[in-house]
Amino acid sequence: MRVGVIGLGIMGAPMARNLLKAGHAVVVHGRTPARVQPLVDAGATSAPTPAALAADVDAVVTCLPDTPDVELVFAGPSGILSGARPGLLAIDMSTIAPAAARALGERAAAAGIAFLDAPVSGGEVGAIAGTLSIMVGGAADAVERARPIFAALGRQVTHMGPTGQGQMTKLVNQVVGATTLAAVAEGLTLAARAGLDPAAVVQAVGSGAATSWALTNLGPRMQRRDFAPGFMVRLQQKDLRLALAAAAGLGVPLPTTALVQQLFAALEAQGGADSGTQALVLALEALAGR
């Protein structure tokens, strides 16, 4: 397929590379030339605007930071909707508000465009390896059309229902992931204060009922003080705000999620907004007087 990719950050750039490796013709658009050029060097072509890209591809994938960014790229001046031909497949792999995904789906359908909300889980590691978990909302026939694209990007693709349900599933993922990460950070803070061997703790705990992706992948990074972002604190905070808002709309209390959101807020106040989420351990260490 001829696939456009808009948004070439930590997640979007490796996704574009994996589409190239899978044999797709890839067209990219990004606001930062330094992110565009390496992909052009790898075999992609570039488009000056989202509209120009949309006019030149069979499908477009967007991977952007927040709801306003996605709305601008789709519906703003020189946006996807202004350049797309009827029949385009539009796949938004950002994490945005479910209501915004539904509204974009309606606007796309009015223009004859098939829209899928398909947020992902797995972080930078999964994006590079092509092993993301992809949770999809939209029409079943559009999901089938998208399978060759998803095959290059992920290991697990789950159709969750109509438009917006992919985003709602991602918010569930973020609630589970963030609260688990906080538990890992608490446990490792306790282990450090008790003088336990860090690697042995991860091995012992990770072999039992308390194992998790966060413990296995982010626990060692906490221990060696590697806070480089695979997923930034500020983006985690955006996702938790979306989750808390969605839960409030449904009348569902999320007390643990609210507490974790405040711990991340403390980390942001310490200047950690652009750190990886594993830096949450710093907020807990501060509470422990370390």
What is the per-residue pLDDT across 176-212, written as a single tens digit (0 to 9) for each?
A: 999 999 999 999 999 999 999 989 999 999 999 999 9
Tokens representing 60? Answer: 């477009």
Asked whether the beta carbons of 145 and 129 are under 8 A apart, the reply is no
Taking the CB of residue 82, how many other CB atoms lie within 10 A of it?
17
Asked whether the beta carbons of 171 and 246 are under 8 A apart, the reply is yes
Q: Give the C-alpha separation, 266 to 286, whole Å.
A: 10
Could you tell me the pTM of the whole model?
Answer: 0.94
Percent of the chain with pLDDT strictly greater than 90: 97
Q: In terms of Cα–Cα distance, which of 100, 24, 110, 98 is closest to 60? A: 24
Q: Give the C-alpha separation, 201 to 203, whole Å.
A: 5
Tokens representing 134? Answer: 């992809």
pLDDT at 20 over 90: yes
Give catalytic residues, as residue numbers. Answer: 170
In the chain, the domains with their CATH numbers are 2-161 (3.40.50.720), 168-287 (1.10.1040.10)
| CA 146-132-284 angle, 5° bins | 145
